Every structure is written in structure tokens, then in C-alpha cells.
């Protein structure tokens, strides 16, 4: 038995040894190969580079794509600024030789136990290599190459030079490459003027520029800054008193305003997208000679820019985007803000209603465009929403509710489909929700964080495309320095809605553009237009925070946003200035397709207006129903009314009473709109009642001893069969005759 155990242990040991040798051999071979990779010193020292971005006609877009400027020398960087980065990023920077083995082993253990490569443990030297020489892919092979190149870096340059290179290439968010760019952008000052608190903020920012942005996530940025300050105290470079004082200092930004157009230019948006596609830093994209070929249509871009220039947006921030419905390519983009608009999520207001409420309900066969919903004051728990004007309209069609942006109807329809179902549809269209987004306020756009204008406009493309959706892109393809295509955008379409639901939603939004909140677009004649507006009000104020118009034709979708990313209020609403920008663009737009194609899954049917008005039911008209009592409406073939009206089929029995009151006869009829009633008194025609619904009283004078009231009733159509009802009355009181003779009965 002992011999067997001993043999098993030897076998296990040999297997482990073989595995270790195999892995070691692999690592060694990769490392030896990595030693032959030359260190690209230009990537470390070149302060000014640019990336070429081309439009759809293969012309270079003439926007400035320079970055990583200006450069700052190590002598002009305050000691507390340098120490802030060292304390939070690499405490042993001046003593190690490029690698921190202790941190690397700890990170390796964490990665192995979690079966991931989230922990990097990179030193400042390694980060410099990663940002200038290699891709951002987290693989073991790339890590080995990083180690080899880091050793070369440490042999080629001293520590101050490495730190200088690092601080001049690291990314600080908002298109700020290098500390001098970041200092100028966030604080409108040079690096040498940075305070201790400002230095700590920038040092904390680089780990995740979006998450720790002092613009959009001020609380997280403050916590991260304070962590840097505490690490500096632990390292003995600031005192406890200094740390306490600086952690209590509020973040104060002074955003430089002269970069607002560059921040939100078409080319900068292309570069941002390229960073995600290629997974390498912008500087490396420029050094590698990659060329970005975009979807920009020069005519669209000019039209969009002109539309904004000719509309008074009262100095507020804005953004506009145009998407080609077929290719999902972004053909034009324009924005103005000192912040990056596409990085900001904003409340989307009523523009979410078609995406999260109405089209999902159409797709689930819960509503049709003609379905009536009671518009009334509602309360759900502690939530008591109201309509914008504080008025309620009673039973309202879905079409009217959308085109007039009625809030209570949207909330009711969301309750029909369920919050999670609505969120599921919107998520498939690119929306992201926080776990706290679980109330009926979602029907009105009440999200924790909201969405950006690109995602919002992109979601409406699905309505124009028969329910299909794919993410919109700025970049069509990317080539290397030899002209070889290394990336090509291919839309990954998914069917989110049935084509009938998408078409019906479009038909509703066409009415919104004609007579609803987007009626400024009713002047567009060269193409059909569907549209939705949105306005986000400021609490307890007549002012707003955000205003939108999303409009689409068979060819393109345009989204327009106006607001302020610093949340300053605006006196603008979605139906006015944003819709005017869209109108100006569409007025000059040259369409290829002018009408939305109706799918075979949509049919037109006549409904009985009497049933609709009286019982708020959708019932198909029968063959006898006169035209004036019908309405043609669009339906999904999967959701046609299954009941046919019995109006005009068989005359009902008369519902009437006739009695004497003093010297008069009081006839009470329960009339129906589709029936005509001819009334005769003592053989003489007296009156006709038609187009009447409900209880009707007729008073007639009694002038005979015996009186006969005859009612002849029929459907109000030609050659309709008729019925007769007769009432006889006998007078028992004195009646004054025309000849003034008195008589008694």
C-alpha cells in the first residue's frame, strides 16, 4: 500500500514538474522574443501628433486632431504634484528597477483565485510602456512583453525622465492627454500652479477618468482625491494637518471654455470610438499611422451646423446627431459644451415613451393606435404624476396621447405591460438602467442617470427599420499605414420589435409631427417625417433642464438636445428650439426614399365610431354601417378587433315612455345615434330626432279627448326597415281649445 502511495506521489510530482517546466519554457520563449522588440522612443518623446480622419468621400476632415499638447518638463512640475502620482500609483518608483515584484505576485495570486486578469500591479514605468508601446489587452503574453520593454526603458532613461514622459502622456478624461492639458482644462492654469488638492484630484482621476470625473461624478472624485491625500500622509510627504485641511476642501473647477467645439467635434468622437475598437492609446494610433474612415456626409455635416447657427439656443449647450438608417452610420455630429456631451447621461423626458412604453405595448398586442385610455388624475402609492398643463381629457386614443405627450396615459400603458418588460425592450435598444430604476416614473423618462443623445436617437432608428436595431457608429473602417483594412463596421442587426409594431409606432409619430408637439415639422413636404419631443422640467420652477427633438424619415434619423451639462436651467422646451433645428435640417435634406413602407403585417380596417364613442370599444363596422359612422384605422394583423358591430343590423325595440302632465304629453326616449325617430301627434307630423344619444324628452300639447302619439323609427340610412310604436292618452282635465270653448273629458 505504501509503495502505491509513493508511486502516485512521484507521478503527481513529475506531472507538476512537467507543467511548471512547460509554462516556464513558454514564458521564457515569449520573454526572449520580446527582447527583440525595439523601444519606440518617438512615442515617449514626441509631444505633438495627429490622427487622420476621413469623411465618406475619402477627404480628410479639416478639424484639428492634435493632442498631448502642450508638453511640460519635470522641473516645472511641483513636488507635491509628482508625489501625489507616486503615492497612489507607485510608491517604490524611485527605488525599483521598473518592476514591483511583491505587487506582481500579489496580483498574480488574486488573478488566479478569481480566474481573471483584473489586477495589473503595474508600476509607472510599466504604465508608460502600456500607453505608448502596446495594446490594452489583458493577456499574459502582452504582460511579458510589457515587462521586457519596461526593463529596456529603465536602462535607457533615468527616473525623472520616465516620470516626465508618464505625466505628459497619461489620459485624464475629456480628451486631456498629459498633465498640462488636464491642468489647463479643469483649472484654467498651468501645471506649475497646481495646488495640493488639485494635484491629488488629477492623480486620482487617471485610474478611471469616467468613474472619477469631477464633472459628472463629483462625489466619487472627492472620495478618490481624499484617498490620494491619505496615501501621501502615510508616505510622510504631507502632514496630518495638511491632509485634514485638504480633504475638507470642496472641489472647485474652472473649465476652460475655448475648447468646447474641439471637445464635441465629429473627429474627436471618431477618435474616442477608435480607442475602444483598437484598444490602444490615441498616441499609439497616431504613431502607427492608422487612418480612420468615417461615415461623415459633408453635406449633412454642413446642414446640421447651419441649422444650429441659424437657431437661437440662448447660449445653452447643445448637440445634434444624424444617423443613416440603413448603414447605422453617423453622418453628422455637432455639439457645443465645455464638457464632452456624448459622455454625459441626461434625463430624456417624454422621448422615452415610444421606446419603453408604446412600441412595446404595440408589440405585445396590448394596444392599437386607436385604443382609448382614460386620461385622469392617478396616484400609485406615493407617486402622483400630472400632465404638463394640469388638465385631463377623459378617454383619449393612444395616438392623441403620444402626439400631445399626455403623461397619465403613458403611465397606465406601462402598467399594462409591466415595468420590467418595458425596460427589457429599451435595454435591447441600447439603454442602460440603474437598479433603482424600478418605478412608473420611467414612463416619463425618470431614470437615475438617463442616456446620451446618441443612444436616444439610435433607438428611434428601429422604428424606421421595421423593428431592427444595431448600434450606430462614427467609423466605417480603419486602415493601417499600408492601406490594409484592419477594422470594418458591419451592423449587427437584431429584431427588437415586429415590423407591424414599428410601423404603427411610426404612423403615430407622423401624427405628432403633423399636429402634435412636433408640429413645426408639418411644413416638411419632400418626405414623410415622424417625430417625438421631450422636455425635462426643473423641480418647483417654470424653467427646464433638457429639451429634445428626435425626428426620422425613411432615410435618416436626427436627434437634437439642448440643455447645460452644469445643470444651469434653460427657458427652452422640446417643441420649440430643438424641433426648429430639426426642421431647418430636414427642409434642406435631399431624400432618397420619401415614404415609410407599410409591411404586409399591417392592415386597414373600418371601426364603428358609435361603439367607440359610447362604449370606448374598438369594434369592426359591419357592411351596413354608413361611412359617417366609421373610421379607417391601421391595425396589426395579429391584433385586429374580433368583434363586429351589430349597429345597423337589426332594429332594437323602442325604449320610450309617454305620460300626461297637466295639458301636455311628455314623451321620454332613450335615443341611439344611429337611429332616426319621426314623431307624430294625432296623425300629424310633429318632430324628427336624429344624431342623438341618451335620454331625450319631448313635450307636446294635448288638444283632443283622445290623443295618439306615434313614433316611427329606423336606421339613418336609405331604404332602412322601420318600426312603429303607438301611445294613446286620454285627457282627464280641462283643456283650453282654440275657439275658447270649454269642455271636459
User: Quick one: 666 and 625 in the same domain?
Assistant: no
In a domain, 297, yes or no: no
Residue 665 lies in a domain: yes
CATH number at residue 471: 3.40.710.10
Taking only the tens place, the pLDDT of each residue in 658-698 is: 998 888 889 999 999 889 999 999 989 999 999 898 999 99
Tens-digit pLDDT profile for residues 267-321 = 999 999 999 999 887 878 888 889 999 999 999 999 999 999 999 999 999 999 9
pLDDT of residue 33: 62
DSSP per residue over 142-193, as a string? HHHHHHHHHHHHHHHS-HHHHHHHHHHH-B-STT-BSHHHHHHHHHSS-GGG
Residue 54 in domain: yes
Report the alpha-carbon distance of residue 425 to residue 360 in Å, rounded. Answer: 7
- Does some domain include residue 82? yes
If asked whether residues 26 and 47 sit together in one domain, one would say no
pLDDT tens readout for residues 608-647: 999 999 999 999 999 888 898 999 999 999 999 999 999 8
Asked whether the predicted pLDDT for residue 134 surpasses 80, the reply is no
Task: Give the phi and the psi of residue 7 in degrees, each rounded to 5.
Answer: -65, -40
- pTM of the predicted protein model: 0.82
Q: Which helix (H) or strand (E) holds 457?
A: helix 453-464
The segment with the largest mean pLDDT, out of 123-137, 211-225, 703-717, is 211-225
Q: Does 738 score more than 50 pLDDT?
A: no
Model confidence at 735, pLDDT cuts 50, 70, 90, reads: very low
486 lies in the same domain as 366: yes
| DSSP symbols for 694-715 | EEEEEEEE--SSEEEEEEEEEE
141 and 234, same domain (yes or no): yes
Of 202, 231, 261, the one marking the end of a domain is 261
pLDDT of residue 288: 83
Chain centroid to Cα 170, Å, comes to: 31
Are residues 252 and 142 part of one domain? yes
What domain count does the chain have? Answer: 5
- Shared domain for 239 and 377, answered yes or no, is no
Helices (H), 36-116: 41-45, 79-89, 101-114
pLDDT digits (tens, 9 = 90+) for 4-60: 767 777 767 777 766 666 655 556 666 666 566 778 787 787 766 778 999 999 999
Same domain (yes/no): 670, 534 = no
Output 84 or 734, whichever has higher pLDDT: 84
Q: Is residue 738 part of a domain?
A: no
| Each residue's pLDDT tens digit, 482-513 | 999 999 999 999 999 999 999 999 999 999 99
Confidence check: pLDDT of 326 > 90:
yes
**Same domain assignment for residues 81 and 42:** yes
pLDDT at 571 over 90: yes
In this structure, of 27-36, 248-257, 470-479, 504-513, the range with the lowest mean pLDDT score is: 27-36
Q: Are 82 and 12 within one domain?
A: no
Residue 288 falls within a domain, yes or no? no
Are residue 151 and residue 57 in the same domain, yes or no? yes
Domain that holds residue 495: 302-588
Grid coordinates given for 316: 445653452
The answer to whether residues 699 and 657 touch, using CB atoms and an 8 Å cutoff, is: no
| Residue 30 shares a structural domain with residue 46 | no
Answer yes or no: do 435 and 577 share one domain: yes
Q: Which residue has the higher pLDDT, 709 or 718?
A: 709
Domain CATH for 66: 1.10.3810.10
Q: Residue 320 falls within a domain, yes or no?
A: yes
| Averaged pLDDT of the chain | 89
User: Is 396's pLDDT higher than 70?
Assistant: yes
- Assess contact for 702 and 664: CB atoms under 8 A: yes
Q: Which residues make beta-bridge pairs with 722?
A: 714
One DSSP character per residue, 272-315 reads HHHHHHH-S-HHHHHHTT-EEEE---HHHHHHHHHHHHTS--TT
What does the pLDDT read at residue 739?
Answer: 38
Q: With beta carbons less than 8 A apart as the criterion, state whether 569 and 541 touch.
A: yes
Please determine, for residue 260, whether its predicted confidence score (pLDDT) is greater than 90. Answer: no
Residue 149: its pLDDT value, please?
86
pLDDT 10s digits, 181-191: 899 989 999 99
Name, in order, each residue with C-beta under 8 angstroms of 614's C-beta and a sequence gap of 6 or more. Answer: 673, 693
The residue from 232, 261, 290 where one domain ends is 261
Q: Is residue 194 part of a domain?
A: yes
Read off the pLDDT band of 371 (50, 70, 90): very high
Q: Phi first, then psi: what are they for 67, rounded to 5°?
A: -150, 180
Amino acid at each position: 500500500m505504501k509503495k502505491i502511495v509513493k508511486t502516485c506521489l512521484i507521478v503527481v510530482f513529475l506531472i507538476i514538474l512537467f507543467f511548471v517546466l512547460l509554462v516556464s519554457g513558454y514564458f521564457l520563449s515569449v520573454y526572449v522574443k520580446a527582447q527583440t522588440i525595439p523601444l519606440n522612443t518617438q512615442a515617449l518623446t514626441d509631444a505633438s501628433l495627429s490622427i487622420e480622419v476621413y469623411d465618406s468621400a475619402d477627404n480628410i476632415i479639416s478639424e484639428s486632431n492634435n493632442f498631448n499638447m502642450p508638453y511640460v518638463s519635470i522641473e516645472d512640475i511641483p513636488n507635491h504634484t509628482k508625489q501625489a502620482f507616486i503615492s497612489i500609483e507607485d510608491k517604490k518608483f524611485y527605488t525599483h528597477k521598473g518592476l514591483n515584484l511583491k505587487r506582481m505576485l500579489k496580483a498574480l495570486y488574486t488573478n488566479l483565485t478569481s480566474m481573471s486578469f483584473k489586477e495589473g500591479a503595474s508600476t509607472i514605468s510599466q504604465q508608460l510602456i502600456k500607453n505608448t508601446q502596446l495594446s490594452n489587452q489583458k493577456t499574459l503574453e502582452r504582460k511579458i512583453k510589457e515587462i521586457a520593454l519596461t526593463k529596456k526603458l529603465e536602462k535607457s532613461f533615468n527616473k525623472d525622465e520616465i516620470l516626465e514622459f508618464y505625466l505628459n502622456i497619461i489620459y485624464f478624461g475629456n480628451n486631456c492627454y498629459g498633465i498640462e492639458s488636464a491642468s489647463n482644462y479643469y483649472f484654467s492654469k498651468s501645471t506649475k500652479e497646481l495646488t495640493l488638492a488639485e494635484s491629488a484630484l488629477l492623480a486620482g482621476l487617471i485610474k478611471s477618468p469616467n468613474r472619477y470625473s469631477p464633472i459628472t461624478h463629483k462625489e466619487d472624485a472627492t472620495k478618490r482625491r481624499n484617498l490620494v491625500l491619505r496615501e501621501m500622509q502615510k508616505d510622510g510627504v504631507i502632514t496630518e494637518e495638511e491632509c485634514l485641511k485638504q480633504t475638507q476642501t470642496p472641489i472647485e473647477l474652472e473649465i476652460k471654455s475655448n475648447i468646447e467645439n474641439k471637445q464635441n467635434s465629429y473627429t474627436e468622437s471618431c477618435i474616442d470610438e477608435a480607442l475602444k475598437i483598437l484598444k490602444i492609446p490615441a498616441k499609439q494610433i497616431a504613431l502607427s499611422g492608422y487612418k480612420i474612415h468615417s461615415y461623415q456626409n459633408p453635406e449633412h455635416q454642413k446642414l446640421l451646423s447651419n441649422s444650429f447657427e441659424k437657431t437661437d439656443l440662448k447660449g445653452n449647450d447643445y448637440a445634434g446627431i444624424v444617423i443613416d438608417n440603413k448603414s447605422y452610420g453617423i453622418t453628422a455630429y455637432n455639439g457645443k459644451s465645455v464638457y464632452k456631451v456624448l459622455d454625459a447621461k441626461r434625463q430624456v423626458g417624454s422621448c422615452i415613451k415610444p421606446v419603453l412604453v408604446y412600441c412595446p405595448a404595440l408589440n405585445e398586442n396590448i394596444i392599437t393606435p386607436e385604443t382609448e385610455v382614460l386620461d385622469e388624475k392617478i396616484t400609485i402609492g406615493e407617486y402622483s404624476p400630472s400632465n404638463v398643463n394640469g388638465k385631463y381629457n377623459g378617454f383619449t386614443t393612444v395616438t392623441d396621447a403620444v402626439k400631445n405627450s399626455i403623461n397619465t396615459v403613458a403611465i397606465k400603458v406601462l402598467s399594462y405591460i409591466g415595468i420590467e418588460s418595458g425596460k427589457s425592450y429599451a435595454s435591447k435598444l441600447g439603454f442602460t438602467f440603474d437598479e433603482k430604476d424600478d418605478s412608473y416614473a420611467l414612463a416619463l423618462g425618470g431614470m437615475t442617470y438617463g442616456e446620451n443623445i446618441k443612444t436616444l436617437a439610435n433607438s428611434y432608428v428601429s422604428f424606421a427599420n421595421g423593428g431592427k436595431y444595431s448600434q450606430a457608429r462614427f467609423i466605417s473602417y480603419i486602415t493601417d499605414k499600408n492601406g490594409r483594412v484592419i477594422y470594418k463596421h458591419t451592423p449587427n442587426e437584431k429584431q427588437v420589435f415586429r415590423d407591424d409594431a414599428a410601423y404603427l409606432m411610426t404612423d403615430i409619430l407622423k401624427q405628432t409631427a403633423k399636429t402634435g408637439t412636433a408640429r413645426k415639422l408639418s411644413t416638411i413636404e419632400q418626405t414623410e417625417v415622424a417625430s417625438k419631443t421631450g422636455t425635462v422640467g426643473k423641480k418647483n420652477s417654470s424653467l427646464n433642464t433638457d429639451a429634445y427633438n428626435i425626428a426620422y424619415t425613411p432615410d435618416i434619423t436626427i436627434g437634437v438636445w439642448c440643455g447645460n451639462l452644469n445643470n444651469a436651467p434653460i427657458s427652452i422646451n422640446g417643441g420649440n428650439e430643438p424641433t426648429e433645428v430639426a426642421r431647418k435640417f430636414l427642409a434642406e435634406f435631399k431624400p432618397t426614399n420619401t415614404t415609410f413602407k407599410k409591411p404586409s403585417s399591417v392592415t386597414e380596417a373600418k371601426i364603428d365610431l358609435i361603439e367607440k364613442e359610447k362604449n370606448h370599444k374598438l369594434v369592426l363596422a359591419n357592411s351596413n354601417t354608413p361611412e359617417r359612422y366609421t373610421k379607417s384605422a391601421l391595425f396589426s394583423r395579429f391584433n385586429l378587433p374580433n368583434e363586429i358591430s351589430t349597429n345597423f343590423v337589426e332594429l332594437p325595440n323602442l325604449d320610450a315612455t309617454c305620460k300626461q302632465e297637466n295639458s301636455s304629453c311628455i314623451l321620454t326616449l332613450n335615443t341611439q345615434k344611429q337611429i332616426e325617430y319621426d314623431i307624430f301627434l294625432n296623425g300629424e307630423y310633429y318632430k324628427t330626432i336624429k344624431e342623438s344619444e341618451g335620454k331625450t324628452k319631448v313635450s307636446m300639447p294635448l288638444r283632443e279627448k283622445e290623443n295618439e302619439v306615434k313614433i316611427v323609427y329606423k336606421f339613418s340610412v336609405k331604404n332602412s326597415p322601420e318600426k312603429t310604436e303607438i301611445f294613446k292618452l286620454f285627457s282627464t282635465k280641462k283643456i283650453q281649445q282654440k275657439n275658447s270653448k270649454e269642455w271636459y273629458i
